[in-house]
């Protein structure tokens, strides 16, 4: 089952997603982390997430230069592992921080997103995907921020279409947007 957990920054989405994995799952679930410490504040955010999940997960720090996200997911699902993938917004943001033209960035994001979505179509495992919802505020006056919001919005819509369950978290409270059909 694929679950998508959406919410704003500090909405409680990570905590809620982590709680979906009970301690008695064997082998331990895998936490695929996509954040990179680009500055001290981001390093503190990453450390906070590492501390809260402690040893309940085996952590896989995603290597953007040498890995394909679909292949990483396939490997762990093939091992019968449950997966928490956090976070699609930091994953997508990496593609915007590369030294490429905005046109090439969009091409790269769309290609990588297509590969990921096709992979999710094939997988039969327990995957919880976390992503920020950035479409609730004003349209930015900054071209890169607008591109990020547009592409993340498109990716979130595509992930929601593939997901069996979609949950929106606000103030730590879940709002179920989509549930599996019985």
Q: Which residues are catalytic?
A: 49
The maximal CA–CA distance of the chain, rounded, in angstroms, is 48
Structure tokens given for 120? 């999710």
The C-alpha atoms of residue 85 and residue 171 are separated, in whole angstroms, by: 21
Chain centroid to Cα 100, Å, comes to 23
Report the b/e string of 1-18 with b at 16+ CB within 10 A.
ebbbbbbbeebbbbebbb
């Amino acid at each position: 089952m694929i679950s998508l957990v959406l919410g704003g920054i500090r909405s409680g989405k990570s905590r809620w997603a982590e709680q979906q994995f009970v301690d008695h799952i064997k082998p331990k679930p895998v936490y695929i982390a996509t954040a990179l410490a680009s500055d001290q504040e981001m390093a503190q955010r990453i450390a906070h997430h590492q501390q809260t999940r402690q040893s309940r997960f085996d952590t896989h720090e995603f290597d953007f230069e040498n890995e394909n996200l679909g292949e990483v997911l396939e490997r762990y699902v093939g091992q019968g592992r449950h997966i928490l993938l956090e976070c699609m917004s930091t994953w997508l943001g990496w593609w915007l921080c590369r030294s490429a033209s905005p046109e090439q960035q969009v091409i790269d994001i769309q290609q990588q997103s297509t590969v990921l979505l096709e992979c999710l179509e094939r997988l039969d495992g327990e995957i919880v995907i976390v992503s920020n919802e950035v479409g609730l505020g004003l349209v930015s006056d900054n071209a890169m921020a607008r591109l990020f919001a547009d592409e993340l919005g498109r990716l979130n819509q595509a992930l929601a279409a593939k997901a069996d369950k979609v949950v929106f978290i606000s103030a730590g409270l879940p709002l179920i947007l989509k549930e599996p059909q019985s």
